[in-house]
Chain A
Amino acid sequence: MSALYSLLAVLALVAAGLEGGRTGAGRDALTLIVPYAAFTIFLAGFCVRVLRWAWAPVPFHIPTTCGQQKSLPWIRQAKVDNPSSKWGVLARMAAEILLFRSLFRNNRARMAEKRLILGESKFLWLGALAFHWALLLILLRHLRLFIQPVPAWVNGLERLDGFLQIGAPQLYISDVILLAALAYLLYRRFRDPAVRYISLFTDYFALFLLLAIAVSGVLMRYFVRVDVLSVKQFALSLAAFRPVDLRALSPLFLAHLLLVCTLAAYLPFSKLMHMGGIFLSPTRNLANDSRRKRHINPWNYPVKKHTYAEWEEEFHDKLVAAGIPLEDEDAGKAHTD
């Protein structure tokens, strides 16, 4: 049900993008208002969310340790999976963010003849990693639309991305990978009963939205010609805060634009915020050194305790009968010892 609703929502967006350009007012909205509104919401929303996390204190030192601790000098420590220094934490975070270290551990449990078998399962890791890297590459490639002259490294990236040299316009591998990875992630969400069980509207919506963006982008590049020059002109004008409306922008481009804006505006309200959140995760970004250095809890408060004195008073006779030293007696004894 949520899958259907989210698909409909995305299709409605596509339709709005394709049709919206027909009237002058719609055009203005799509090219002038929506991009800035979306960008503002994105920036403000993203900052608010991140700041809210950042402002919440980390009262306790709770890294999840995934390897040997640093203890005795002759025992080999897992410096990355159980870091004890800043550098170790940096390495661990880099491995998480760039390589999806934890996802790489994934395995799959199944029952076979009353036995639990844990098998390899790297597809989720591969799919997720491929998707994120391809997306990053594509985003960076888009910089050519916003910067004039195009920086050399962007050109370099493009050459790298198109190294297969297939077709004209040249096929970018990142496009293929992105589509394939998205398709896999979507397939998995439908196919794996456990994942389907927990999936919400937002999960499907994000996937459909990304897929629609990717498909519209691919269509524009390889199948339905768009006037790249006017797109660039438009993008540059947007970036310079002097937006010009160009009649030459095609409906397909407008749909692509609307979808991207939706994604940007939706991002701060969604789980897609994980891109900012991962940096702050206290089970990953703390060094496992809580016995070596005291971690401070800013709101640590005194609690009611059952003190030794109260305890001794309550059990006084039993302590004496059992011959367990009392506080006072013992002080005297320690003196004579």
Chain B
Amino acid sequence: MQEKLIQIEQEPPRGDWRDPHVEFHKGAMCYSAAAKNLTYLGLPNPRTWQPTDSNWKLPPDWKKIILAGMKERLKKYRSFRLFMDICVRCGACADKCQFYLGSADPKNMPVARAELMRSIYRRYFTLTGRIFGSLAGGRELTEDVIKEWYSYYYQCTECRRCSVYCPYGIDTAEITMMGRELLTLIGCNINWVMEPVANCYRTGNHLGIQPHGFKDSIDFAANEASEITGLKIEAPINRKGAEVLFVMPSADYFATPHYYTLLGYLMLFHQIGLDYTVSAYASEGGNFGFFASHELMKRLNAKIYDEAKRLGVKWILGGECGHMWRVLHQYMDTMNGPADFLEVPVSPFTGTVFENARSTKMVHICEFTADLIHHGKLKLDPSRNDHWRVTYHDSCNPARGMGLLEEPRYILHQVSRRFHEMPENTIREQTFCCGSGAGLGTDENLEVRLRGGFPRANAVRYVKQKHGVNLLTCICAIDKATLPTLLEYWVPGVEVGGVHELVGNALVMTGEKERTTDLRGEPLASAALPASGEMEAVHA
């Protein structure tokens, strides 16, 4: 497969983009959402179908629904109306999308992806389009257009990379979001989004883990952390009156390598003595609702504030996850706030008031930990991470929807001694997506993922060859779930880990037993190498 895929070339695009014909083939598409998930959520048009079917069983008045849906959204979102109107098709965004770079499919250029929608907008909602039709850049809304939307709005990870380069800030992710909302209106969803949404709505997390299963996983992790350190580490669940509610993506307690990050959190909280609880009801920080519609995003997100209120905590701390933080940072307070029942977050250990979270009352774990380290509250032994040569992948959402760039880097510099950045135009706000975000990270879609992830992998390969990097750290649950596959394919020999996994390794805990392995059970380099004098923790 590698031979076939590796022939990634930017061939000059041929044909007319206004021809909506698309072919779906296995390996490069997402399966349709199962009827039971749509039914559970009360969403329209649940049925059995697949994108490869010629008849998609759309509701009879689908065209009316779509046009009415567009009209409504043009009224409700300035972003939508504006982005429909002002693109000059300069093409600056074209080669910024990893899906275009990896597939050479011209409709994966952000501008083309948006034109798939704009052409309909122009035809039905502008004067020139209604009069001049295709000469004014319009085209008819047909079933083929719906199929095309399904294909290309599910080949966009809503990563916003295009928006960084656009002279008007046109965010194709925003258009993809509208496209997906419209498709939701006629029941054209993908299962990899809708199953997690339905699960999360019911049980509290994407994986559908019920409370007892949740408790088992958390207890298991607490036990393992206890075994590694020889301390008695506990993780309280649904405990009322705790100071802090901690919310993490569910993958952290159910998947590897996320799990090592969870061990890291638990060890950190134990060491500093944080008065916290996790919740089995709000047991998901991530929000796949975000990948289907604003309404579903709100329905899932509401649990966090509701639970914080019920438990009577003072503020909320959030774990390592990308799109979770886009929602928490840019949507939560607006949708489900005001959180006036909470207090402005203050670190109980450093006294730092998190002014930047004054209204949402929710702090990112990297902000929290960086503050601890900066105030010398943690004893760290970075040599325990000497077996890793580390680089850092900025996850799209914390980078471009928040600007959380230096906090994780600061932590990494304190907990490891071998850190190497990838090339400048592939990190920070220019970071490349893992290619599997926004609900695309399913195995049936592997070809699209490997192609979309190629630019990221290409940069990892660069630092691997140049510096011998063998660990790609990140603060995103989807990254941790999908980058291992990507790297195994393009850059074998590079593992994926979380920032707090390395914190857990380096953290010198009071009364702990001597560590001979890291959180993964791998022998520490320092155990094999002669100990060096200057391995003492460095505090800023």
Contacts and interface: CB of A to CB of B under 8 A. Distances in A.
A274 B88 contact: yes
Nearest to B455: A116
6 contacts: A84-B356, A194-B95, A194-B109, A273-B86, A306-B303, A319-B280
Contact of A292 (B17, B167, B204, B359): B359
B337 A281 contact: no
Contact of A106 (B109, B165, B215): B165
A292 B406 contact: no
Interface string B127-143: 11000000111000000
Query: Chain A contact residues: over half helix, strand or loop, or mixed?
Result: loop
A142 interface: no
Interface string A105-135: 1111111001110100000100010000000
Contacts of B338: 294
Contact of A291 (B126, B329, B425): B329
B64 to A, nearest CB: 22
Query: Nearest 9 A-B pairs (CB), nearest first?
Result: A69-B403, A193-B12, A65-B403, A277-B86, A283-B169, A322-B212, A195-B91, A56-B78, A284-B169
Contacts of A300: 334-335
Interface of B: 6, 8-10, 12-13, 17, 42, 74-82, 85-92, 94-96, 101, 106, 109, 111-112, 115, 126-128, 135-137, 160, 163-171, 174, 201-204, 210-212, 215-216, 237-241, 280-281, 294-295, 298-299, 302-303, 306-307, 310, 328-331, 333-335, 337-338, 352, 354-360, 362, 367, 370-371, 374, 399-407, 410, 423, 425-426, 428-430, 454-455, 458
A274 to B, nearest CB: 4
Interface in A45-91: 49, 52-54, 56-62, 64-72, 74-76, 78, 81-82, 84
Given A65-B402, A282-B78, A283-B79, A111 B9 contact: yes
B386 to A, nearest CB: 26
B398 to A, nearest CB: 9
Given A105-B165, A293-B359, A116 B298 contact: no
B240 to A, nearest CB: 5
Contact of A303 (B280, B302, B358, B405): B302
B349 to A, nearest CB: 14
- Which one of A56, A192, A198, A337 has the highest number of Cβ atoms from chain B below 10 Å of its Cβ? A198
- Which one of A293, A305, A307 has the highest number of Cβ atoms from chain B below 10 Å of its Cβ? A305
Contacts of A290: 329-330, 333-334, 360
- Which one of A69, A297, A304, A319 has the highest number of Cβ atoms from chain B below 10 Å of its Cβ? A69
A230 interface: no
Nearest to B461: A115
Nearest to B370: A72
Contacts of B212: 318-319, 321-322, 324
B112 A75 contact: no
Contacts of B215: 322-324
A267 B362 CA distance: 45
A128 B335 contact: no
A115 B458 contact: yes
Query: Chain B contact residues: over half helix, strand or loop, or mixed?
Result: helix
A66 B164 contact: yes
- Which one of B106, B203, B401, B423 has the highest number of Cβ atoms from chain A below 10 Å of its Cβ? B401
A195 B238 contact: no
Given A65-B402, A116-B455, A281-B170, A318 B211 contact: yes
Interface string A298-318: 011001111110011011001
A108 B165 CA distance: 11
A31 interface: no
A64 to B, nearest CB: 4
A65 B90 contact: no
A211 to B, nearest CB: 16
Interface stretch (A96-104, A143-151, A168-176, A234-242): A96-104
B111 A198 contact: yes
A261 B204 CA distance: 61
Nearest to B115: A198
B10 A110 contact: yes
A296 interface: yes
- Which one of B111, B160, B403 has the highest number of Cβ atoms from chain A below 10 Å of its Cβ? B403
A115 B136 CA distance: 39
B310 A327 contact: yes
Contact of B426 (A118, A195, A199): A118
Contact of A60 (B239, B280, B334): B334
B405 A68 contact: yes
B407 A296 contact: no
B410 A75 contact: yes
Nearest to A100: B167
A281 B90 contact: no
A288 interface: yes
Interface in A253-298: 269-274, 277-278, 280-284, 288-297
Contacts of B127: 269
B11 to A, nearest CB: 8
A233 interface: no
A163 interface: no
A311 B333 CA distance: 23
A227 interface: no
Given A281-B168, A311-B281, 12 more contacts: A2-B135, A65-B403, A66-B164, A66-B429, A72-B407, A116-B101, A118-B423, A273-B85, A293-B359, A303-B302, A325-B237, A334-B241
Contacts of A330: 238, 240
A203 interface: yes
Contact of A201 (B12, B136, B360, B423): B136
A122 B368 CA distance: 39
A147 to B, nearest CB: 31
Contacts of A315: 203, 210-211
